[in-house]
Structure 1
Amino acid sequence: MIDANPVLNMGIFGVFVLITLFIVYRVSSVDSAPDYFAAGGRFTGAQNGIALSGDFLSAASFLGIAGAIAVHGYDGFLYSVGFLVGWLVNLLLIAELLRNTGRFTMGDVLSFRMRQRPVRAAAAVSTLVISAVYMIAQMAGAGSLVALLLDVRSSSGQALVIAVVGLVMVVYVLVGGMKGTTWVQIIKAAMLILCAAMMTVFLLGKFGYSLTSLLQQAADKNPLGDRIFAPGAKYGENELTKLDFVSLSLALVLGVAGLPHVLMRFYTVPNAFQARRSVVWATCTMAVFYLCTLVIGYGAGAVNGTETILAAPGGENSAAPLLAFRIGGTVLLGVVAAIAFATILAVVSGLTLTASASFAHDFYANVVKRAKTDPISEVRVARLTALVIGVASILGGILVNGQNIAFLVALAFAFAASANLSTLLFSLFWRRFNTRGTLWGIYGGLGSCLVLVIFSPVVSGSPDSVLPGVDFAWFPLSNPGIVSIPISFLCGYLGTLLGGRVSPERTAEMEVRSLTGIGSS
């Protein structure tokens, strides 16, 4: 256990919270729905790109991946590869089209040429489920981090910290809306990347700036030895684990384009050109960060050893904070802890805003009120929804506290790829795609993914399960993407064949708007 200074750690975090709350208050402008949901579309591509990286670089990226690399080696770095490739493959393909077609949420795109009420309801359900799974992972990260920093081993103490993080996050959303949340993301992203670069330099300096020496010591202190430099240390034990790896890779690569909180950020820029610039900025920023995590992960194993990391409160998630303490003492640990807390806080704020916006805009305004509501009521419902979502994510985070964060986030990616990717691609590129295909694609992918997760080793049947004391698992894979993603595409295809035809006028309008931006807000 590290000899940390709780007062310093919490003090640095408190300063960050106070500064960002002041900024959120100063920049807040939430008098209208466009301001609250999309910041009025006034951010530049560079600003939004950095905010996108802040939204995407979650506790899974900072704590989970570093721990996975320290313990499992190359197989842990595959999370970074999957996240980054997902941006290159998917978002560069759909970013401009999405920005031209929608206004606030993913539901705007999916319902453009379909029957509004059922499609918007399905989009809202999908957004709420995916955001909830993602937020639960972040809350679990908060519990793991405080367990290490304050040596809080009791479940009640960690639950209290998760609750505090959840409450602060709700304040960000209620006060600042999208504009305030975006500035929090920008600040947090800059701090996170600076911290990762600083730790990388300090760490290499400890080994005489010899990456070879660092890697060799990492192998010496890991029971796997030199196997940590090759694929298969975690996912190569047998054919089943190899199949699980393929499923995980599909979820990571294809899930990025289905994440609602990422897609919603494209509406904060004024046009499609700035949306594409956002992706370029975000991709370059994250590439630098993930290269740093490779050094940090192996360095954590080299400095502390695998056994020390696994024995610490928080397990794998403690690798980066433990490393910070060893190379920079209490001060660097305090900085890393504050940035890790800020990372969790900023990401869950963006997720909460997205989920509440989808419920208020897609479900309340267009399903319940049949598009006959005023923007003020819409914003008020979004704020009330944010409170409910905050409480739900706190409870979920307490339930899964102690699980590897990167692994939990990978499940959120599986849900996103299963529920949203097929319907987005079909809506944008298949003229025949119709309402029934949309509903079958969303509910088929979401439902199959949920069922497979519930009856997988994630929930029961193994010592690492959420419910280790029971066993009702019959699906052998930990990530269901390899099954649920094809089911979603198949359901969307079959539903379209069995459904009626869509309006050719709306189809033509959507095609022109998505490609040219003519008529977009």
Structure 2
Amino acid sequence: MNTKSLQWALASALSLAAAGSALAAGGDLGESAKQSTNWTAILMFGAFVAGTLWITKWAAAKTKSASDFYTAGGGITGFQNGLAIAGDYMSAASFLGISAAVMATGYDGLIYSIGFLVGWPIITFLMAERLRNLGKFTFADVAGYRFQQTPIRAFAASGTLVVVAFYLIAQMVGAGQLIKLLFGLEYWMAVVIVGALMMVYVLFGGMTATTWVQIIKACMLLAGVSFMAFMVLAKYGFSPEALFAEGVKVKAAIAANAGKTPEEAAKIGLSLMGPGGFIKDPISAISFGMALMFGTAGLPHILMRFFTVPDAKEARKSVLWATTWIGYFYVLIFIIGFGATTLVLTNPEMADVAKGVIKGGAGTANMAAVLVAKSVGGDVFYGFISAVAFATILAVVAGLTLSGASAVSHDLYATVFKNGKADSAAELKVSRLTTIALGVVAVVLGIAFEKQNIAFMVSLAFAIAASANFPVLFLSVLWKDCTTKGAVIGGFLGLISSVGLTIVSPSVWEATLGYPKGSAWFPYSSPALFSMSIGFFGVWLFSVLDRSAQATKERAAFASQQVRSETGLGAAGASGH
């Protein structure tokens, strides 16, 4: 216990020192963002950090086993888990990235909110119950239920870590931009502070702390966006039509000021309400939509949440509540995005954001929603929304890190290296070491991808999840002829093709790696249409070709897997394989 107390004291000191350095830098804000130091925002931010550290300390006392660390001991109710899933899903990409995308591209920004939302029926009707009945800690428990453990776990851990890395980038970029705006810190310092706090939450609190931070943050965020959308609509007599008309005018005026002819300016203004500005060809549109829709069912940190509830009924209930909150949230985000067009782009104090949007500088534009809060609610509400945005990022980052840590410790260490004989304490230790490693990786990648739109970065994570994890999960649970060889080879084909095509697409090849425009090898904005097809085809082909004795045994085991997945018989206290 003494060692644990010492670790806790060191962690608290580290995070408070980080928060302190942020406070000390507050006075420099005037130079970096051309606005006075916002002490309201800083105090709310400090209060949130202190509150969540207290939750972590409370959770640390309850986290005694691997089950507590990964799944909060399975003691979360359906309603609580629904809020926590919504908290996990309403990430920096949703809150900051989609509102920025709507501000910059108008109607086209809707593809994110519609795409992110329509993935939920797939989880509701195909996955939620089966996941809870077959799994224990990670989605590999489900995908590998009747398969050889070593190869399937190796694939699942690889898929999880790649998805988590891409998803983490977006959150770290959002957090860095937010703290830079609030405190006037250098961007890299802001990212390092977020990384340090995230490690503290996950290292000591595990899933219990992560869940409660997500629930509190979901409630704060839903209240904040409700007020924000209400205030935006109130400025236009609660007429969405008047809001959209004003947005078209603003966009046309910005284009005219940038030297466009009146005809061109009018056309640019009207483009705000029409499709085609963001995704310019049908292949990209289909591919992008597929990534957002099917990626949800392959996100390891979302799938992991179904193991925190006691049974399949609560798993279904949690999806229902999550879908309700998320759908409500996305409707409001669209209003807030248009509010950013009319209120932020016309505000002389926020001219740097307007410039960023005109030039396509997504990094600055990511802060659109926070600046809308300042326009409609003054410094106090601006402080509240900044603290909520930070809470959003921290909660999601903690959930992501936890799923990455569980992939390494539970799937690789305990099952592959120790053949299922690792004791709980050793597994926990590996998990905590992985958390530190993931924190460092997240900080480095967050600094490298500073200029990217965070909603777009998350869409790449969705494309990889849809291409690698989803085909394996879907076919292993619903197709009796699926075999270990098919799942592993097909899964790796989906993973490698999605990552490879993402790297050579314009979004990474040109925007991040700096190669000249038009030099990208893969012309489309999302690889999902191609890489997901490769993943499904690979699983099917190599399963059909597999005639080994092991494959025959796996096909025969499908009947018992189906009974358990549909009824939950044997699920309570079972090991999952």
Normalising by the smaller structure, the TM-score range is over 0.9
The corresponding residue for 2:558 is 507
1:27 aligns with 2:59: yes
The corresponding residue for 1:295 is 335
> How big is each residue's C-alpha offset from its partner over 1:13-59, in whole Å with a ceiling of 9 and x where there is no partner?
11111101102221332211111111111111000000000011100
2:567 paired residue among 511, 516, 519: 516
Paired residue type of 2:543 = T
Give SS of 2:96's match.
Answer: helix
User: Does structure 1 retain, via aligned residues, the 8 Å contact 2:98–2:109?
Assistant: yes
The separation in 2 between residues aligned to 1:26 and 1:89, in whole angstroms, is 35
2:273 paired residue among 229, 232, 235: 229
User: Does structure 2 retain, via aligned residues, the 8 Å contact 1:87–1:256?
Assistant: yes
1:371 paired residue among 417, 420, 445: 420
The corresponding residue for 2:257 is none
User: Does structure 2 retain, via aligned residues, the 8 Å contact 1:69–1:297?
Assistant: yes
Quote how far apart the aligned CAs of 1:92 are: 3.1
1:247 aligns with 2:280: no
The corresponding residue for 2:408 is 359
The separation in 1 between residues aligned to 2:141 and 2:301, in whole angstroms, is 14
User: Does structure 1 retain, via aligned residues, the 8 Å contact 2:505–2:523?
Assistant: yes
Aligned CA distance change for structure 1 residues 311 and 477 (closer, same or farther; 3 Å): same
Paired residue type of 2:564 = R
User: Does structure 2 retain, via aligned residues, the 8 Å contact 1:218–1:305?
Assistant: no
> How big is each residue's C-alpha offset from its partner over 1:239-268, in whole Å with a ceiling of 9 and x where there is no partner?
xx3321221111000100000000000000
The separation in 2 between residues aligned to 1:216 and 1:151, in whole angstroms, is 35
Quote how far apart the aligned CAs of 1:91 are: 3.8
2:542 paired residue among 488, 495, 499: 495
The separation in 2 between residues aligned to 1:150 and 1:30, in whole angstroms, is 34
1:415 aligns with 2:464: yes
1:95 paired residue among 125, 128, 140: 128
User: Does structure 2 retain, via aligned residues, the 8 Å contact 1:112–1:506?
Assistant: no
The corresponding residue for 2:493 is 444
Quote how far apart the aligned CAs of 1:88 are: 1.9
Which structure has the bigger radius of gyration? 2
The separation in 1 between residues aligned to 2:324 and 2:246, in whole angstroms, is 30
The corresponding residue for 1:11 is 43
User: Does structure 2 retain, via aligned residues, the 8 Å contact 1:418–1:484?
Assistant: yes
Aligned CA distance change for structure 1 residues 89 and 508 (closer, same or farther; 3 Å): closer
Aligned residue runs from structure 1 range 50-89, under 5 A = 50-89=83-122
Quote how far apart the aligned CAs of 1:392 are: 0.4
Q: Identity percentage over the alignment?
A: 44
The corresponding residue for 2:15 is none
The corresponding residue for 2:205 is 176
> How big is each residue's C-alpha offset from its partner over 1:447-469, in whole Å with a ceiling of 9 and x where there is no partner?
001111111112223xxx11225
User: Does structure 2 retain, via aligned residues, the 8 Å contact 1:140–1:398?
Assistant: yes
1:466 aligns with 2:512: yes
Give SS of 2:522's match.
Answer: coil
The separation in 2 between residues aligned to 1:518 and 1:362, in whole angstroms, is 24
> How big is each residue's C-alpha offset from its partner over 1:388-427, in whole Å with a ceiling of 9 and x where there is no partner?
0010011001000121000000000000000011111111
The corresponding residue for 2:152 is 119
- Greater Cα shift, 6-15 or 71-80: 6-15
User: Does structure 1 retain, via aligned residues, the 8 Å contact 2:370–2:385?
Assistant: yes
The count of aligned residue pairs is 510
Give SS of 1:458's match.
Answer: helix
1:40 aligns with 2:73: yes
The separation in 2 between residues aligned to 1:293 and 1:353, in whole angstroms, is 27
- Greater Cα shift, 485-494 or 203-212: 203-212
The separation in 2 between residues aligned to 1:310 and 1:261, in whole angstroms, is 35
1:340 paired residue among 359, 383, 389: 389
Normalised TM-score (structure 1): 0.95
Aligned residue runs from structure 1 range 131-146, under 5 A = 131-146=164-179
The separation in 1 between residues aligned to 2:421 and 2:516, in whole angstroms, is 49
User: Does structure 1 retain, via aligned residues, the 8 Å contact 2:38–2:379?
Assistant: no
